[in-house]
Amino acid sequence: MPNSSLKHILTVEQFSADFISTILNEAAAHQKNVQAKGGSKKLDSFVSTNLFYEPSTRTSSSFAAAMYRLGGQVIGINDVAYSSVAKGETLEDTIRTLEQYSDVIVLRHPDKGAAALAASVSSVPIINAGDGTGEHPTQALLDLYTIMQEQGKIDGLTITMVGDLKHGRTVHSLSKLLNHYKVTLQFVSTEDLSMPEDVCQKLTNPMTRFTDLTSALPTSDVVYMTRIQKERFKDLDEYHAHKDDYVLSENLMRLVKKTGTIMHPLPRLNEIEQEVDNDPRAAYFRQVQYGLYVRMALLAHVLNGGER
């Protein structure tokens, strides 16, 4: 029987306004703590498992770093090719095994809905670290924290999401999470890679669609660039036709407000020129750091702050 009192993190749709503000406040406290003394011992004696069926650099290592900086330990299965998954073990049996060793499982999987399936058989909290083209709820929280840090507020901003909005799980989660605020959304994509209808139907903020990046930049407070998701294309020629759809160049940065913020969930391929990295508005590597604090807050939350 699934244990409904467990604090799984599966979708942004489960987050209340209270939960969001608690996590953002806790993240700020963890930031201070890490910067002052490296972390705390809050999760001393807790063990997490990172179970990643898809590649990851930031999500897996920030969840590991978050656990270590809270005094906990991590079992890292960062390439399931070297686990019994390669022998054909089901996701359910893998979860039933890893829950015997760990207090929380951070799962990335190529199938939409995989985190919910894992949660349905798990006796420990499951954190969705990306389920295919579905969601990436912890990224959306760190994106929110980044916007807060960089812009000092969220209400009233114009937030522009650019690129592969069809397959990009980060923009699916972030656009829905922004329902808790009053913002204006601008979606820039080619028609065939536009934000899915099922996501749009859930959005409460006004949104405008663009196919041209230059038209959307001057009104943007936040420009959230995304990678064309190569791994989601059945036809690689189609991917190649799209891979340079939108490129934020130093030249285009002239159209962005002086107070603007450039974000990207990373990895970045061609969509932001390296020259832009030196611009103070380029916040994507600070965004990486903020992810650590948000994930510390999330781990402490699902593990009841270390209370057994």
Token pair recorded at residue 285: 């590597």
Residue 227 contacts ligand ASP per CB under 6 A: yes
Shortest Å distance, C-beta 225 to ligand ASP: 10
Minimum CB distance to ligand ASP smaller for 43 or for 193:
193
We find the least distance from the C-beta atom of residue 25 to ligand ASP, in angstroms, to be: 25
Closest to ligand ASP by CB, 80 vs 303, is 80
Query: How many CB atoms sit inside 10 A of residue 208's CB?
Result: 14
Residues between 187 and 226 that touch ligand ASP (CB under 6 A): none
122-to-2, 12, 98 alpha-carbon distances in Å: 6, 20, 9
In sequence order, what are the residues at sequence separation of 6 or more whose Cβ sits closer than 8 angstroms to the Cβ of residue 21? none
Considering the complex, what minimum distance in angstroms separates the CB of residue 199 from ligand ASP? 14
Q: Are 44 and 71 in contact (CB under 8 A)?
A: yes
Residue closer to ligand ASP, measured from CB, 137 or 265: 265
- Shortest approach of ligand ASP to residue 218 CB, angstroms? 26
Residue 113 CA, distance from chain mean position: 16
The number of residues that bind ligand ASP (CB under 6 A) is: 6
**Nearest-approach distance from CB 163 to ligand ASP, in angstroms:** 9
Q: Is the dihedral of CA 273, 278, 281, 284 positive or negative?
A: positive
Nearer to ligand ASP, 42 or 136 (CB): 136
Return the residue of 72, 125, 130, 137 that touches ligand ASP, per CB under 6 A: 130
CB of 293 to ligand ASP, least distance (A): 18
Q: State which residue, 130 or 260, has the beta carbon closest to ligand ASP.
A: 130
Binding residues for ligand ASP restricted to 155-174, rule: CB under 6 A: 169-170
Closest to ligand ASP by CB, 96 or 112:
112
And the tokens for 79? 């390439």
Closer Cβ to ligand ASP, 39 or 130, answer by number: 130
Residue 130: CB minimum distance to ligand ASP, A: 5
Distances (CA, A) of 206 to 104, 186, 211, 225, 286: 37, 9, 17, 19, 28
Which parts of 239-268 interact with ligand ASP (CB under 6 A)? 265
DSSP secondary structure letter of residue 221: S
Which residues make Cβ contacts (< 8 Å) with residue 137, sequence separation at least 6? 9, 10, 11, 12, 15, 128, 173, 177
* Number of alpha helices (DSSP H) and beta strands (DSSP E) in the chain: 10, 9
Binding to ligand ASP in span 29-68, by CB under 6 A? none
Residue whose tokens read 């969930």:
265
Q: Residue 180 or residue 264: which is nearer to ligand ASP going by CB? A: 264
Other C-beta atoms lying within 10 Å of the C-beta of residue 140: 26
The answer to whether 121 touches 95, Cβ cutoff 8 Å, is yes
Residue numbers of the site for ligand ASP (CB under 6 A)?
130, 136, 169-170, 227, 265
